[in-house]
Amino acid sequence: MRVKVYRRVVSYCISLMLIVALATLIAGNFTIANAQSKPEVRLVLQITIDGLRADLINRYANGFGKGGFRLLMEKGTYYTNAHYQYANTETIVGHATLATGTFPSQHGMVGNVWFDREAGELAYNIEDPDSPIIPTRKNETKGEQVDPAQKKSRTQGRSPAVILAPTFGDGLAAYYGGRSKIFGVSGKDRSAVSMAGHAGKAFWFSTNTGDFVTSTYYYDTYPDWVNEWNAQRQAEGYAGKSWTLLNDASTYLLADQDNRPYEADLKGYGRVFPHPFGEADDKLLHTRLLVSPIGDQLALDFSKALITHEQLGQNEIPDYLSISFSGVDAVNHFFGPSSLENEDVVVQLDRTLADLFAFIEKTVGLKYTLVVLSADHGMADMPEYMTELGYKAGRLDPDEIVAVANKAGQRLGVDEIVRFFYRPYLYLNDEKIAAAKLDRTKVERAIADALTDVDGIALAVASSRLSAQQTNPLLEQVRNNHHVYRSGDIYIIQEPYWFLFDKGPVAAMHGSPWRYDTHVPIIFANPIIDMKRVHRRVHPVDVAPTIAAFLGMTPPGSAQGSPLKEVLE
């Protein structure tokens, strides 16, 4: 009898050991030795991949190695059906939504740029004349700016002052008495600043110098480790080199989508591989690095230095690091999301992520890390590509949009009724409408109707219509985008695959309410989070409340999303 019991216990123990061993094997680095109900999180690592439409990581999965995207897709809770719920799917809007858990109607970031009615000019989202960028070198040469939003910036100052809602990081700072270290790093200023929130510190890549910079909002002078990192002049090391494919061309799904006539050539960067970055004195050298896998590799290397020198994740007070990788978006803009360049930049980013996770394992331990991955928006295939495939689409000339609206104004007796147009918002001239003693609501509707008739415009929505109960889901997306001071009087929605701009230096665009722009991945990974794929519809406003709930905190103050139950169960 005793022998039998003993045997049963032994066999039970062996089974248990096998199960534990198997679980360890499956869960890999995210495994913890003993099950515990409350996770010990020392670092929240929030990764945002600019412009990573949700389907891209499936399309290119065959090219992925171990330890990058696969680590998260196969071991985390992976939401395959996450969509933004507002209309203007642009970079600052997405980042601010991920950071705050609320809509542009609340956080106020209605677009990368909007018309400042009081100043009578365009405002770039996070510009702040009171917080100038701290110079990194004595003689700074100016790089050529090609980012259409950055070009609208009036000053070189940057801060989160205009973000009108608290972020997850702000809540973390409050919860732990200011002891959590909170950082945002990115190739783009707006993506670093928004995620770092008001209480954190932000660093971003300067296309002028190739250095990582910050502003006086965060520091008086650079920390020594930042000076040391910049002194290496890593960006300059790429002068004279080219972006080449990581793998053999024949292994790529889109190998024959390299030389397409509608791709943009960044002044000598070319439409086909290899893409030369240019010489050291080329004013586009640093910009071209961002339009390649190199920008992401530099962001990773800088982040490693930050983790080491700021000692992130070394004790029981959780720290927060946001890294927003900008390469996929930049490449999408110049070459389109169905290009060989897009495939290679995502495949190379997979290796960058593997490098990041290996570094985190070594320094913090993945078992002490909550990894969250998402994107700020998706991307549209170019109208020329879609037309070639049989779906007719085109580009709308902004001047023509203004002309149509002005013509409608003339019919009401007002000349030049449009004060300003910058996609997607049209701003009307209040003084002229008042002087003509016209009913403002009727004017807005008449112009919106005239615009809706234009080929390529799906719907123009007068802001005055947004308060009413509506059943059209597009109107709900416009309403979520509407901030009472910053939004325009009429929101213009293009037809699917149409662009609200002519072909300029960039070829492809996002920013519509259509599904290719709203669809992004959301993945959470930590030892106590189950590995599963969730196909129900969820939303990026849920991300910040979920991180907060995972840490036992209340959601950011203005959050409208809800914690995702699969992460917490």
- Residues lying near Zn ion in the complex (CB under 5 A): 50, 91, 329, 376
Return the structure tokens found at 181.
């270290």
Tell me the two tokens of residue 560.
């409208």
Minimum distance from residue 26 beta carbon to Zn ion (Å): 34
Count Cβ atoms within 10 A of the Cβ of residue 216 and give its class: 0-12 exposed, 13-18 middle, 19 or more buried: middle
Q: Residues 332, 334, 339, 344: is their CA dihedral positive or negative? A: negative
The minimum distance between CB 290 and Zn ion, in angstroms, equals 12
Across the strands, what pairs with 369? 43
Nearer to Zn ion, 263 or 376 (CB): 376
Residue with smaller CB distance to Zn ion, 97 or 526: 97
Least distance CB 262 / Zn ion (angstroms)? 21
Of the candidates 257, 254, 272, the residue with the CA atom closest to the CA atom of residue 62: 254
CB of 97 to Zn ion, least distance (A): 12
In this structure, the chain runs to a length of 569
Q: Of 167 and 369, which CB lies nearer to Zn ion in the complex structure?
A: 167
Residue 293: other Cβ atoms inside 10 A: 25
CA angle 285, 291, 292 (to 5 degrees): 100
- What is the closest distance, in whole angstroms, from the C-beta atom of residue 98 to Zn ion in the complex? 11
Q: How far is the CB of 160 from Zn ion (least distance, A)?
A: 17
Compute the distance between CA of residue 334 and CA of residue 271 in angstroms, rounded to an integer: 9
**CA 541/CA 558 separation, integer angstroms:** 10
Nearest residue by C-beta to Zn ion?
A: 91
For Zn ion, which is the closer residue by CB, 201 or 333? Answer: 333
Sign of CA dihedral 161, 163, 149, 145: positive
CA distance 462 to 442: 10
Q: Residue 256 class from Cβ within 10 Å (0-12 exposed, 13-18 middle, 19+ buried)?
A: exposed
Largest Cα–Cα separation, the chain: 103
Task: Please report how close the Cβ of residue 377 comes to Zn ion at its closest, in angstroms.
Answer: 5
Query: 376 or 489, CB closer to Zn ion?
Result: 376
For residue 430, the minimal CB distance to Zn ion (Å) is 32
CB of 329 to Zn ion, least distance (A): 5
- Per the CB < 8 A criterion, the answer to whether 539 and 557 are in contact is no
DSSP 8-state secondary structure symbol assigned to residue 141: P
Nearer Cβ to Zn ion (375/457): 375
Of 343 and 376, CB closest to Zn ion: 376
Is residue 247 within 8 A of residue 255, CB to CB? The reply is: no
Closer to Zn ion at the Cβ: 50 or 381? 50
Looking at residue 276, the DSSP 8-state letter turns out to be E
- Smallest gap from Cβ 190 to Zn ion, in A, equals 9
Rounded to whole angstroms, the Cα distance separating 239 from 266 reads 15
Residue 52 or residue 172: which is nearer to Zn ion going by CB?
A: 52
Least Å distance, CB 188 to Zn ion, is 8
Which C-beta is closer to Zn ion: that of 50 or that of 263?
50
Could you tell me if residue 518 is left (phi over 0), alpha (psi between -120 and 50 degrees) or otherwise beta? Answer: alpha
| 482 vs 510 by CB, closer to Zn ion | 510
Degrees, nearest 5: CA angle 327-332-333: 105
Q: From the CB of 50, what's the least distance to Zn ion, in Å?
A: 4
Check: CB of residue 205 under 8 Å from CB of residue 193: no
Write a three-state SS string for 417-465.
Answer: CEEEEECCEEEECHHHHHHCCCCHHHHHHHHHHHHHCCCCEEEEEEHHH
| Triad 340, 74, 95: Cα angle to 5° | 65
Q: Which is nearer to Zn ion, 339 or 463 (CB)?
A: 339
CA distances from 92 to 89, 141, 316, 359, 473 (A): 9, 27, 32, 28, 23
- Residue 223 structure tokens: 């920390």
Cis geometry, peptide bond prior to residue 424 (ω within 30 degrees of 0): yes
Q: Which is nearer to Zn ion, 378 or 563 (CB)?
A: 378
Shortest Å, Cβ 109 to Zn ion: 12
